[in-house]
Amino acid sequence: MSLGLEAAGFDPVALIELNSDAAASLRANRRDWNVIKQDMKQVDYAPHRDRIHLLAGGLPCQPYSRAGKALGKDDERDLFPAATEIVNAVRPKAFMFENVDGFNDAKHADHRAEVFARFAEAGYAVRTISVNAKDYGIAQERPRIFVIGMSPENMARFRPPPTFEEWRATVGHALEDMMGAGGWSGASRWAERRRTQVIVRDNKEEIGGLASTLLGEKRRGREKEIGRWGLREIIIGGTWDAPPTDAMAAAAGDDFMPGLTMPMKARLMGLPDGYVVIGNKESQSQQIGNAVVPRVAQAVGLAIYSALLGVDFDWEVVLRHPRLPYERETVDRIEIDAPSLAYDGRCLERHAPFRLRFSDVRKSTIDQALRRTSSRLLLETAHRTENPWSVRRPRDQRVGGAAGICP
């Protein structure tokens, strides 16, 4: 989530994470981020009161997951009540909390009403939007909801991010190069089958080569999950140490199906290639499966940014870097200095998307940045010459802070 919100123009002020491995992963990838390993309910939020533009978090999904008992408010892992208390303590200009779409089920209506009433008492207008990663070029069926709050005036300007069905990709697009990295000669044929696979759902034809939702937890009775992945000719029973080889395929015969390595799982979540995930296999899989897809977080973050500042911009340009996250030939790969932890927004003069003219950056400038920066965020954009932001903000209007509850 934090990568996506930073790409949307927010400067991470504090990232609160209880899990040791997840906190270590955040630090390993961005050493300048202020990562706090602590229970979010135990943090002293007083120093941040009235100084944060966006409070964001991915709350535990188990209380609302249709694959489990979905106990909602009766599940001790439900953190929505705690979220209302934190919002009250911080008083951000806006907040967003991500969860599974089961949160919107009728059985949780009373609990939703109670949570939203608490937000309203604090002065926030609240709405829930549904977003699916597949509509942003991510090769995964991953429906999620975001509970969003801000002042009634700003909420009147809020519009959900547009979707881009034409960007939809398949696991064949996403993983062909990785599947063939070990020398498996069948990788191209496997990828082509995924690209052309069609399924019928509710009497409607859809691309069938999307990955099933990556899960962040072990579950009993995984037959349905294994079956869904089997339709994509992928074994999901464990994480492979290396890509498939011809020797593996020959040993398995006609029934051979490749498995996913950890880098493959990360790519299916839209994480940058080379993103470091700390811990053993189980921990790494849990972190990847529990993450918020960065591009989805970016899209929702941009919608909030637009509402807070009352500005419009070209969505296709600001989100298209590139159209598919694994097509490189039309992409400038540019690394920039990581932003500071300043609260006042001055860092955005250097780092917000509307300040960067990627097509004007020369190779010498990129080389200097590579030599200068030890902790970097990789930004990618299609070759476009126009400025994606239609309005230039005065300096005192730029968004300067985002506190993330978890990645």
Question: What pLDDT, in 10s, does the model give residues 189-236?
Answer: 888 887 766 554 444 445 555 666 666 555 444 555 444 554 556 766
Within 8 A by CB and 6+ apart from 399, the residues are 9, 10, 11, 53, 54, 305, 308, 309, 345, 348, 352
Which residue, among 39, 155, 40, has the nearest Cα to 90 in the 3D structure? 40
Summarised one tens digit per residue, pLDDT across range 144-176 is 999 999 999 999 999 999 988 888 888 888 899
Tokens of 311: 């500005």
Q: Quote the longest CA-to-CA distance of the chain.
A: 65
Q: CATH 3.40.50.150 occupies which residues in the chain?
A: 2-165+291-404
Report pLDDT for 216.
55
249 close to 184: Cβ distance less than 8 angstroms: yes
DSSP 211: B
* Cβ–Cβ < 8 Å for 94, 307: yes
Q: Which of 258, 288, 10, 254 lies closest to 138 in space, CA to CA?
A: 288
| Beta-bridge partners for 36 | 16
163, with CB counted inside 10 A (0-12, 13-18, 19+), is: middle
What's the confidence (pLDDT) of residue 98? 96
Enclosing H/E stretch for 54: strand 54-58
Q: What is the pLDDT of residues 277-287, one digit of tens each?
A: 999 999 999 99
Structure tokens at 29: 């990838």
* Mean pLDDT computed over 327-355: 30
Please check the confidence at residue 345 and state whether its pLDDT lies above 70: no
Predicted confidence (pLDDT) at residue 368 exceeds the cutoff of 70: no
Indicate whether 324 pLDDT > 60: no
The one-character DSSP state at 140 is B
Q: What is the pLDDT of residue 255?
A: 80
Q: Is residue 323's pLDDT more than 90?
A: no
| Residue range 351-370: mean pLDDT, rounded | 32
Residue 36 vs residue 227, higher pLDDT: 36
Q: What percent of the chain has pLDDT over 70?
A: 68
Report how far residue 401's alpha carbon sits from residue 301's, in angstroms, rounded to the nearest whole number.
Answer: 12
257, burial (CB in 10 Å: exposed 0-12, middle 13-18, buried 19+): middle
Local confidence band at 384 (pLDDT 50, 70, 90 cut-offs): very low
Give percent of the chain with pLDDT exceeding 90: 42
Residue 268 in this model has a pLDDT that exceeds 50: yes
pLDDT at 193: 81
Which residues are marked as active site?
A: 61
| pLDDT at residue number 73 | 79
Look up residue 255 and give its two tokens: 């029934």
Instruction: Give the mean model confidence (pLDDT) for residues 347-361.
Output: 31
pLDDT at 62: 87
pLDDT band at 382 (very low <50, low <70, confident <90, very high): very low
pLDDT at 339 over 70: no
Mean residue pLDDT of the chain comes to 75
Q: 4 with 293: CB under 8 angstroms? A: yes
Q: Domain 2-165+291-404 classified CATH 3.40.50.150?
A: yes
**Alpha carbons within 13 A on the beta-carbon side of 270:** 35
Q: Has residue 293 got a pLDDT over 70? A: yes
Please answer whether residues 297 and 270 qualify as being in contact, where contact means their C-beta atoms are separated by less than 8 angstroms.
no
- Pairwise pLDDT comparison (329 vs 171), residue with the higher score: 171
Sign of the dihedral defined by the CA atoms of residues 77, 80, 81, 83, in that order:
positive
Q: Which of 299, 314, 308, 5 is nearest to 158 (CA)?
A: 308
pLDDT (0 to 100) of residue 312? 85
pLDDT over threshold 80, residue 397: no
Inform me whether the pLDDT recorded for 15 exceeds 50. Answer: yes
For the cut 60, the answer to whether the pLDDT of residue 341 exceeds it is no
DSSP of 239-264, one letter per residue? EESS---HHHHHHHGGG---EEEHHH
pLDDT in tens, 66-90: 877 778 877 888 899 999 999 999 9
